[in-house]
Structure 1
Amino acid sequence: ANPLGILIANLLSPALVPEGKHIPLMLGIYAVPAVTACALATLGIHEKVPPTPPSASATNSNSQPFFTGLRMLLRNKAYIILAVCFGGGIGMFTCFSALLEQILCEKGYSNDFAGLNGALFTVCGLLGAFLLGMYVDRTRKFIESTKISFCLSALASIMFAVTSRFRHQAIMLAITCSLFGFFGFAIYPIAMELAVECSYPIGEGTSTGLIFVASQIEGVILMILLQALTVRVSEDPSSTCAIDQDGALDWTTPVLVMAGLCSGMACFYVIFFHTDYKRLHAET
């Protein structure tokens, strides 16, 4: 649902906001499904557990209480590595989607083109997640799949960092955004499964929820860092950015830093992450 929302926003935002004065209208439209979903989740869910256990291990669940599980997670080396690396990846993808238009407009690319690239990023990501999910479901190679995908997404981020600094590279930008999404989002469902595998018998809600908390914190830090690294440049006639009195922003350093961080996290994850499949062993 989260990637689908990003996809819709990437497609609709350029059409809803032809000028800056239309931003409140866009926010109002986007608030409608958010408020509706919040109301449905608050008022429509009354059961603590589903009527049918989702897995064999859940039939005789012995998950730990929340605070006990939280303490166990903070002492679980494999889980901490996964939370930091995968949480950073989610934060990076969030920043990428949010800042894509600003990164591309300085080189003369339109808002519509940025929205199209954001949509390609998400659609190819959903396709990658679907295909890799099918593969892992058959082979159970969770760790190998995430490590390979993480490395390939890091390479795609490097390609984007280089390509986005040149003008008239629409096709290459579309390809790099597609590859970045395809390999990056492919990790998403598998990493969630890995979080449960390496933290079992701690409850799934605790193990996956803490990763999302980490991703939001890392995303905020990354957003602030990337924006702080931008450099003011003189106005360029080919730029499509909304120029203020101080000039446009150059994103060369931020995108290189983003690619470097993605590569660093991929290397760290490949080298140091190892775990047993605890839940699978409990079910067999």
Structure 2
Amino acid sequence: MANLLVKLSLALKILRMTEHNKSMLEKDQEGGGGADVIKAFKRRWYILAVYVYYSTISCFQWVEYSIVTNIVMRYYNVSSSAVDWTGVMFMIVWPIFVFPSSFLIDKLGLRFAALTGCFLTGIGAATKLFSIHQGAFHVVLLGQAIVSLSQVFILSLPPKLAVTWFKPNEVSTVCSIGVFGMQLGSALGFLLPPMIVKDHLNLNDVGSNLKVLCWGLSIAIIPACIGVVLYFPRMPKYPPSSAQAEERKKPQDVTMGTFLNSLRDLLKNKGFLIHTLGYGISFGIFSAFGTLLNQFVLSYFPGATEDAGRMGLVMTTFGMSGGFLAGVILDKTHKYKECNLLIYLGSALCLCALLFCLQIKAKIMVYLTIAIFGFFLNAYIPAGIEFASELTYPANESTTTGLMTAVSQTLGVTFTLILSHINLNWSTFWALSIQIGLLFFGTGLTLIVPNDLRRQEAFNRGKAIEFTELPQEDPLFTKPPTRN
């Protein structure tokens, strides 16, 4: 009888504890208290897809005119340097507006950034609809300026989007997918303009081709604008990681003072500053090389305008696979410094091989080496951003990326203008040789960056806390004391 009473008492305790646990779970699911609810929503992939789509259209317009420099020069009766400014514009605008935009993104969130970036891209594309006559090159520059302004709200988002919506083991992969949009846009920018805008003898036919190009971009951005308006929230209802849960527990009102303090902390981080210079050199060469690719190729293969476009496509297509692979490897290994160093060295060596193939005028080998060069050069973009996020955690990701890209775009402008001058007045050989030297210098900088993985330490602390908070002995299955 005593044993029966003990069993009944234990059963009642189990029932009460089960009901209590169920009640607590319901409260958690309603956001009403209790333990942190960690959840990654399936809709995060929709949000990522929308971002990739409109960043693709924005980045397409970077090389839209420079890849057909010779045709644009004839139609608008301008110099090659003037056409270069259609690409340089993107690098000029960024350093001017990056800090105001980073402050606004930190204060107003992802939805504000998505709406602003997407709609500015659409406005810039629509502006260029009014540039289809030979005296309207200034309208081209205005449209390019508006699109370039959109990118200060677009290009710094991948790391912030990744940590806000995705699981810790997905962050690097998602960041690389986010950068994929930029690379895909560049690839299409190299491919489509030479196919659409032909070097007709009749300039009216050239104008008709430009109209097709501009209308196509204006129509393509409309679904993205609708998608952002309908669903692109500031953040998910529940955090996707314990690190994000901890961040939500200590919300801080973003003011200009807190933003400047965050910026000051970044400028005191020596490892981050060294990495930023190395990243800036690589990205600056990526920008300059893409802007001047048409001129580089035509200096060795006269009349090969479409080949220049296809080479740019090959470079960025292989680059997309490199960027995605880099993200997957980083999520699996967390070897951020090692991956950055290997990718940087690979970029330098491949540009050496590319220069050699251009010198011997082996067109097939140029396609091959430019593909491998693009693989490494583009892979460094997400790898470099992720390494910076590790070095600067818990600094806001958009501020970190914005500062890095400001340096990158400044160097991109500098490299493009100097290398364009060297290419015209000396030779393409010297322009490419200088880029090789800069890439080896950047490799050396990456070698001395400290391997300080702060974000991984935070993730690991979160896992340790979750583990240690588990009960060492489950009270539901504790045996009752035996009776003598």
Indicate the residue corresponding to 1:74 in structure 2: 267
**Residue type of the partner of 2:405?**
F
Indicate the residue corresponding to 1:130 in structure 2: 324
Indicate the residue corresponding to 1:238 in structure 2: none
Indicate the residue corresponding to 2:415 in structure 1: 222
- Cα 1:18–1:46 shift into 2, 3 Å: closer
**Residue type of the partner of 1:255?**
L
* Residue deviations 1:125-169 (CA, integer Å, cap 9, x gap): 1111222222221111111011011101111112222322332x1
- Cα 1:277–1:13 shift into 2, 3 Å: same
The answer as to 2:435 corresponding to 1:258 is yes
Higher mean C-alpha deviation, range 24-33 or range 260-269: 24-33
Indicate the residue corresponding to 2:7 in structure 1: none
Deviation at 1:179, TM superposition (A): 0.9
* Residue deviations 1:165-213 (CA, integer Å, cap 9, x gap): 332x111101111111111212222221111110011111111121122
Q: TM-score, normalised by structure 1?
A: 0.84
Indicate the residue corresponding to 2:103 in structure 1: none
The structure in which a higher percent of residues are helix is 2
Deviation at 1:32, TM superposition (A): 1.9
The answer as to 2:241 corresponding to 1:48 is no
CA contact (8 A) 1:161 1:259 kept: no
State how far apart, in whole Å, the 2-side matches of 1:219 and 1:25 are.
Answer: 29
The answer as to 2:291 corresponding to 1:98 is yes
**Residue type of the partner of 1:134?**
V
- Cα 1:117–1:42 shift into 2, 3 Å: same
**Identical aligned pairs, as a percentage?**
27
Deviation at 1:56, TM superposition (A): 2.9
Deviation at 1:29, TM superposition (A): 4.3
Q: Which entry has the higher C-alpha Rg, 1 or 2?
A: 2
State how far apart, in whole Å, the 2-side matches of 1:216 and 1:33 are.
Answer: 28
State how far apart, in whole Å, the 1-side matches of 2:400 and 2:222 are.
Answer: 27
CA contact (8 A) 1:13 1:26 kept: no
**How is 1:170-209 mapped onto 2 (pairs within 5 angstroms)?**
170-209=363-402
Indicate the residue corresponding to 1:210 in structure 2: 403
**Residue type of the partner of 1:192?**
I
Higher mean C-alpha deviation, range 55-64 or range 90-99: 55-64
Deviation at 1:34, TM superposition (A): 8.3
State how far apart, in whole Å, the 1-side matches of 2:296 and 2:198 are.
Answer: 18
| Greater relative CO (CA pairs within 8 A, separation 6+) | 1
State how far apart, in whole Å, the 2-side matches of 1:179 and 1:141 are.
Answer: 22
Q: TM-score, normalised by structure 2?
A: 0.51
Q: For structure 1, which runs of at least 5 residues remain unmatched after alignment?
A: 233-248
Aligned length, in residue pairs:
266
TM-align CA RMSD:
2.5
**Residue type of the partner of 2:332?**
R
- Cα 1:132–1:44 shift into 2, 3 Å: same
Deviation at 1:273, TM superposition (A): 0.9
State how far apart, in whole Å, the 2-side matches of 1:217 and 1:37 are.
Answer: 32
State how far apart, in whole Å, the 1-side matches of 2:220 and 2:408 are.
Answer: 20
Higher mean C-alpha deviation, range 87-96 or range 49-58: 49-58
Indicate the residue corresponding to 1:164 in structure 2: 358
Match of 1:283 among 445, 455, 459: 459
CA contact (8 A) 1:107 1:166 kept: no
Indicate the residue corresponding to 2:187 in structure 1: 7
Deviation at 1:54, TM superposition (A): 4.5
* 3-state secondary structure, aligned to 1:184: helix
Match of 2:347 among 141, 153, 156: 153
CA contact (8 A) 1:149 1:184 kept: yes
Higher mean C-alpha deviation, range 199-208 or range 35-44: 35-44
